[in-house]
Amino acid sequence: MNQHICPRCQFANAQQSPVCVECGQLLTDNLDATRPLSYPGSRHQPIHTLTFHIGDDQLAISLKMAERLILGRQSNRMADRPDLDLARFQAAEHGISRIHATLECNEAGVYLMDLGSRNGTFVNGEALAAFSPCYLRDGDLVRFGKLTLTLALRQDESGDNRFAVSTHARSKTGKLEESIRLMRV
């Protein structure tokens, strides 16, 4: 069995793994080789907004063409953080890996790819094979480990911000307990 040894933590990863599942270290530098660097023929890049509904909480993420977002949970043993830390949703208790999955936007839409996580990624009850993209649609049920989310997907024709917003209703009156906006270039 071929393995890819992490240069940072010496963990033995599957050969096809682009990142170390133990520490998050990038194992290959050719991940962007086939991705388009620009959106030809258009001055405006479409923005895909994904809203994950988690119980009475929601998490909205906007992605532009050729953007990638790594989902996982922060660990004290990791030097790098995932782009979207799911720790506030009891990620460890739900079996979410430190580097669990990636969301990426291309001409065909938004896809989700499991990064060899221990407890898997599922779309509409079907397990995703590691490193195999699955295009998402509005209304999909997504599960990371044991954490289940419902997806609302919208595409806008223009925009220039990439952000994640999470809101959690504190009471029936709709007051917000938390509103987090993560700006990223």
Question: How does pLDDT run along the chain (185 residues), one tens digit per residue?
Answer: 678 888 878 888 888 787 777 777 777 765 554 444 444 444 456 778 888 888 778 888 887 877 888 999 988 777 778 888 888 888 999 999 999 999 998 888 899 999 999 999 999 999 999 999 999 999 999 999 999 999 988 887 654 444 444 443 332 333 322 323 332 32
- 50 inside domain: yes
Judgement on whether residues 76 and 146 belong to the same structural domain of the protein: yes
Same-domain pairing of 5 and 85? no
Strands (E), the chain: 3-5, 12-14, 47-54, 57-64, 68-72, 84-85, 99-106, 109-114, 121-123, 126-127, 134-135, 141-144, 147-156, 162-169, 176-184
79 shares a domain with 7: no
Count of C-beta atoms within a 10 Å radius of residue 75: 19
Judgement on whether residues 107 and 137 belong to the same structural domain of the protein: yes
Instruction: Give pLDDT, residue 173.
Output: 31
- Cα 165 to Cα 1, 23, 28, 77, 123: the distances in Å are 41, 26, 30, 26, 22
Query: Do 1 and 51 belong to one domain?
Result: no
Based on the domain organization, do 68 and 129 belong to the same domain?
A: yes
Count the domains in the chain. 2
Same domain? For 10 and 87 the reply is: no
**Tell me, what's the pLDDT at 17?**
80
Q: What is the pLDDT of residue 158?
A: 53
Domain of 94?
A: 45-184
Q: Is 37 part of a structural domain of the chain? A: no
Q: Give the pLDDT confidence score for residue 156 in this predicted structure.
A: 75
pTM exceeds 0.75, yes or no: no
Strand order in the sheet with 126-127: 126-127, 121-123, 141-144, 147-156, 47-54, 57-64, 162-169, 176-184
Contact partners, residue 10, CB within 8 Å, separation at least 6: none
Measured CA to CA, the distance from residue 39 to residue 43 in angstroms comes to: 8
